[in-house]
Structure 1
């Protein structure tokens, strides 16, 4: 297959993938931002947001693994358009019905979220010089916290005026508009797809086998599983923790979440530069794991009387580390993948990443609920225990040979 002769620049490919990533990320995070109000109206416990996240990443697990196959058959931009359509439809289901439709909507959002990273990795591998990979991938991955910023700032405001269903509906419309805008660049970015072939279960297992057989990819996959657990603990639960445990208003808690996301944006760019110029990527990731451990402890010790500036500082450091690792991780996966298999390797490692959310978020909710029933500050205990996986990853990464 030969690429279109009108091959766009790295900057243009980066801009397109960044916009798509941001809207998909906002679709997954917006329900967590309005969760305290939505769960109360639906008669659900506040911890139900953990099960929402688990369902999202259950759907994402499978579609991320076959993301490389979908890119080959549909084209990377077409695959991303289909993903945005699913995110918009899932958001519509979330805000149109009760718990049953919300569960289906979460799975649909996850199915849309899964292929986006393999698609963008495929596009960027074709257009990015090797010596800039960590930085470019990190900038692209700022779409995740940028989407979080949009959701954290806009959703509480819309909810305050129109209600939580409208807040999710606006996000759904934004995904669909981005899908239409992406059509303008599809012809220049997509290469002709391969003829459709019968579906085989090997298409699901092959990327995972590739990752597990390759020691460098296996290390990245297992650490990403634990890192994703920690990342979603701040993204999914920080607003609920501040609102229910520390007495903050939903809007004020949303501002603190947005600060953590902004710090994640800055962190992803900064760590990408560091990994490209000054330190091996695995050592950078090991240092971030140590910072995550310290942030988990600091978050656990927050009190209702803690000054807001200190809460903001803790959230910023937490965000810079627990949200800032993905770009360096994805660039290292693409770099270590066999030639021509960056999409498959990315999809295979993301199965582990998303499984961390799938298994970790209900566990986080269970620990918080169990501690609360025992008369302890439930969310504080749950955050404190996250120091264990953070220190495990730090030890493994810092001892690994580059």
Structure 2
């Protein structure tokens, strides 16, 4: 199967299944005004989404290994499209929004792990770093689209129409899912670097908790500083574009230094922590610099993590990445809930400072995980 087609299919699948939560974050001001919830309420909605994603991750990995990436990816896209249109039609309070987002969360786990499997089995090893970077660029692209939806749709015809259009666009990704070639059920892989994967998963929890705050709260934080919703949405769009470029560039360099990527992730997280700290500093210059560093470095690592894990577990990529992906989703759950509460009680500067500390701690855990992975590879 053509590697370019597989990469395009993985990219569109990941965008389709991840857009619901980022659209809620990008339209937080408009949705929050109509449904009457605070930053803590937004954090609750996003946390519920990623909490369900964390619970669904390992079962979704099992489903992908058993039934094939194509079937599970298409199922995930359908669920995501249904959840987007359901938000537009039925969300009348914070609690109905949370319930509908939970449906899209299962779709997220399915689509992500199915895409990882397609790339690992159909793309040559010498190009997997780049293709994983392109696939993970789907997340900031979703953020970019969410930011662009503020001035283009939400401020013109209303935020509900943004969800309708996103649902239709997600459904259009179904024909682009690449077909499995002779899929058959695979036995569970033995000899996983379980300890290393768990440590990396814990690091991913801290890092994703802080990084998700960027996509979730950067618009509301900018508005709180007196910036109009339109430019605030464009700031989110800028961050999404920078992150997409960083993920693709990171994947390109991973193919040239494939055995040292977890250490590279630690360096990216340290730089991202500086960006979050800048977001706590008053002034538009500090905000823009914080967005550039936070998105460009602090949220550039998931593709590198998946690439490193798949290299060690090529026979069961969905099962292996489901462990570390659980950490990413757990961070997406705990981070917005905790940081949203901090913003509600102590303000956004305190929230960004707490996120910077968590991201720096994640860098240290990534270094430990890198050491454990090298030990496992040597064994």
Task: Provide TM-score, normalisation by structure 1.
Answer: 0.85
- Name 1:324's counterpart in structure 2: 300
- Name 1:375's counterpart in structure 2: none
- Name 2:30's counterpart in structure 1: 37
- Name 1:200's counterpart in structure 2: none
2:232 pairs with 1:267: no
2:215 pairs with 1:235: yes
How many residue pairs are counted as aligned between the two chains?
368
Matching residue within 336, 360, 381 for 2:350:
381
> Does the residue aligned with 1:231 lie in a helix, a strand or coil?
helix
> Does the residue aligned with 2:282 lie in a helix, a strand or coil?
coil
> Does the residue aligned with 1:66 lie in a helix, a strand or coil?
helix
Distance 2:63 2:182 in 1: 13
- Name 1:340's counterpart in structure 2: 315
Q: How far 1:210 sits from its partner (Å)? A: 8.2
Distance 2:168 2:114 in 1: 22
Matches within 5 A, 1:294-373: 294-303=274-283, 306-307=284-285, 311-337=287-313, 339-371=314-346
2:62 pairs with 1:83: no
Q: How far 1:218 sits from its partner (Å)? A: 2.2
Distance 1:280 1:130 in 2: 15
Give per-residue Cα distances to partners, 1:27-70, cap 9 Å, x unaligned: 22111111111111112223311111111112212322122222
Distance 1:190 1:37 in 2: 45
After superposition, the Cα gap between the structure-2 partners of 1:388 and 1:312, relative to the gap in structure 1 and judged at 3 Å, is closer
Q: Which runs of 5+ in 2 are unaligned?
A: 375-379
Distance 1:396 1:40 in 2: 39
CA contact (8 A) 1:40 1:46 kept: no
Q: How far 1:190 sits from its partner (Å)? A: 5.0
Distance 1:156 1:48 in 2: 23
Give per-residue Cα distances to partners, 1:231-290, cap 9 Å, x unaligned: 1110110011001x2111211111111111111111112222333324711221111111
- Name 1:182's counterpart in structure 2: 176
Give per-residue Cα distances to partners, 1:118-151, cap 9 Å, x unaligned: 1011111112222332222111111111121122
Matches within 5 A, 1:1-400: 8-97=1-90, 98-99=92-93, 100-179=95-174, 181-182=175-176, 185-186=178-179, 189-192=180-183, 194=185, 214-243=194-223, 245-278=224-257, 280-303=260-283, 306-307=284-285, 311-337=287-313, 339-371=314-346, 378-398=347-367, 400=370
Distance 2:113 2:191 in 1: 15
CA contact (8 A) 2:275 2:289 kept: no
After superposition, the Cα gap between the structure-2 partners of 1:45 and 1:382, relative to the gap in structure 1 and judged at 3 Å, is same
> Does the residue aligned with 1:162 lie in a helix, a strand or coil?
coil
Q: Choose 1 or 2 for highest CA Rg.
A: 1
CA contact (8 A) 1:283 1:397 kept: yes
Q: How far 1:214 sits from its partner (Å)? A: 2.0
Distance 1:69 1:290 in 2: 34
CA contact (8 A) 2:13 2:73 kept: yes
After superposition, the Cα gap between the structure-2 partners of 1:210 and 1:27, relative to the gap in structure 1 and judged at 3 Å, is farther
- Name 2:377's counterpart in structure 1: none
CA contact (8 A) 1:220 1:333 kept: no
Give per-residue Cα distances to partners, 1:321-357, cap 9 Å, x unaligned: 12211110110111222x5121101112211211111
Distance 1:210 1:176 in 2: 38
Q: Which runs of 5+ in 1 are unaligned?
A: 1-7, 196-202, 372-377
CA contact (8 A) 1:95 1:165 kept: yes
Q: How far 1:96 sits from its partner (Å)? A: 2.0
Distance 1:323 1:398 in 2: 17
Q: How far 1:25 sits from its partner (Å)? A: 2.5
